């Protein structure tokens, strides 16, 4: 299947939604240049309040555009950048990737998947009922978080809509994504 970036976004201020841009520049070990969440240590305000010395495993937020399609059917008009993601993708099962997967984007950028985005009440502040809409249950009754995945930047560079994405699984037994 053809896996592509469909949009990129960032925002300098700590706000829920991010601004869609023609391109973003990723910095190895830090995140998205010009984004409030860029840093070696945690930048999300709730995590900074708990322990500002922890490593930033949430440098880049990715969401599959298929979620936007699913939400639209349920009455939520969500566009790229709306739910705070830096990169919106199409054609790649982000939620099915194991921890440690390397995402090769374009010719140069390499991201390492660290875990799931844990949906929070800010989703409901943005659109009432949205948090529940991005949660589900699997056949065994386990909670499924659909609000995207988080990654760290291993090799930086520019990312823009249309860039191809290739997922390289980690060596060894796959480890299921957990919230980070």
In sequence order, the 6+-apart residues with CB closer than 8 A to the CB of 23 are 8, 158, 159, 160
Q: Look up the domain containing 154 and give its range.
A: 4-168
The whole-number pLDDT of residue 47 equals 87
Please choose, from the candidates 153, 142, 149, 166, the residue with its C-alpha nearest in 3D space to the C-alpha of residue 115.
149
Q: Is residue 176 part of a domain?
A: no
Is 116 a domain residue? yes
**How crowded is residue 92: how many other Cβ atoms within 10 Å of its Cβ?**
21
180 lies in some domain = no
* Residue 81 lies inside a defined structural domain of this protein: yes
User: Are 127 and 78 a contacting pair, CB within 8 Å?
Assistant: yes
Number of domains in the chain: 1
Rg (CA), the chain: 15
Per-position b or e across 37-68, b if 16+ CB within 10 A of its CB? bbbeebbbeebbeeeeeeebebbbbbbbbbbb
In a domain, 178, yes or no: no
The pairing of beta strand 149-155 with beta strand 102-105:
unpaired
pTM: 0.97
pLDDT tens for the chain, 180 residues long, are: 699 999 999 999 999 999 999 999 999 999 999 999 999 999 988 888 899 999 999 999 999 999 999 999 999 999 999 999 999 999 999 999 999 999 999 999 999 999 999 998 999 999 999 999 999 999 999 999 999 999 999 999 999 999 999 999 999 999 999 999
Residue 174 counted as domain residue:
no
The two structure tokens encoding residue 165: 């994405």
- Cα 12 to Cα 4: distance, rounded to the nearest angstrom: 25
Look at residue 175 and tell me if it is in a domain.
Answer: no
pLDDT at 89: 98
Q: What is the pLDDT of residue 124?
A: 96
Q: 12: domain CATH number?
A: 2.40.33.20
Using DSSP's 3-state secondary structure scheme, residue 117 falls into coil
Task: Name residue, tokens 């790229």.
Answer: 80
């Amino acid at each position: 299947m053809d896996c592509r970036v469909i949009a990129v976004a960032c925002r300098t201020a700590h706000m829920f939604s991010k601004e869609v841009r023609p391109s973003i520049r990723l910095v190895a070990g830090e995140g998205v240049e010009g984004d409030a969440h860029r840093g070696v240590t945690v930048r999300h305000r709730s995590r900074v309040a708990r322990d500002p010395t922890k490593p930033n495993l949430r440098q880049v937020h990715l969401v599959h555009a298929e979620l936007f399609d699913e939400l639209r059917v349920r009455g939520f008009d969500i566009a790229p950048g709306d739910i705070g993601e830096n990169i919106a993708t199409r054609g790649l099962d982000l939620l099915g990737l194991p921890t440690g997967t390397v995402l090769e984007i374009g010719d140069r950028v390499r991201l390492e998947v660290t875990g799931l985005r844990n949906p929070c009440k800010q989703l409901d502040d943005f659109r009432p009922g949205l948090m529940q809409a991005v949660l589900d249950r699997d056949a065994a009754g386990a909670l499924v978080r659909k609000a995207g995945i988080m990654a760290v930047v291993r090799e930086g560079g520019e990312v823009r809509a249309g860039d191809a994405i290739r997922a390289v699984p980690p060596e060894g037994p796959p480890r299921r994504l957990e919230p980070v």
